[in-house]
Homo-oligomer: A and B are copies of this chain.
Amino acid sequence: MTDKLASPVAPSMIAHLSRAFTAIPFNRMLGLRLDHLDAEHVLMSFDMKNELIGNFLHGILHGGVTSSVLDMAGGMVVMTTAITEHPHATPEELAKILGKCSTIDLQISYLRPGKGERFSAKAWIIKQGHKICFTRMELHNHTGSLIASGNGTYLIS
């Protein structure tokens, strides 16, 4: 992962993707915030709350929350990359491009118990091809501890 900003995403496209993102009830239920979005990486965050706990004995995150957030982060960086390649697309064309993006394979490594007050997910592109896009994802808690890492493989056309 490089830290430089790649081909910047047009503000209207970011707005489009952000609206689509927050319109999804499941994301709202998770309390997912989209903190940063460009063609190379995506940052999201969410706060711990009762609804997201999987193990009340130990107060740790439901494994499904972890996999959901990492899949969502990987998908968002893939979609951002896809739309930056069509800088002059209309909203209808964008919707069509995004509609073609889908997860093929998701792999999650649960490294540490999901304890924390706040969590941040990061996703970046490992390899972008014409048909297939590979991403890497990480979930950290508010102390910077790496809770989970993952790989997503996405079909983009």
Contact = CB atoms under 8 A, between A and B. Distances in A.
Interface stretch (A5-13, A37-45, A81-89, A127-135): A127-135
A95 B55 CA distance: 11
B68 A72 contact: no
- Best-buried of A29, A55, A68, A109 by chain B (most CB within 10 Å): A109
Contacts of A50: 25
Contact of A105 (B23, B54, B57, B108): B108
A46 interface: no
Contacts of A65: 26, 68
Interface size of A as a range: 35 or more
A106 interface: yes
Nearest to A138: B126
Given A106-B107, A134-B109, A23 B67 contact: no
- Best-buried of A52, A65, A107 by chain B (most CB within 10 Å): A107
Contacts of A99: 55, 57-58
A124 B64 CA distance: 18
4 closest Cβ contacts across the A-B interface?
A64-B68, A67-B67, A111-B127, A26-B62
Interface of A: 23-26, 29-30, 50-58, 62-65, 67-69, 71-72, 75, 95, 99, 102-113, 126-127, 131-132, 134, 136, 146, 149, 151, 153, 155
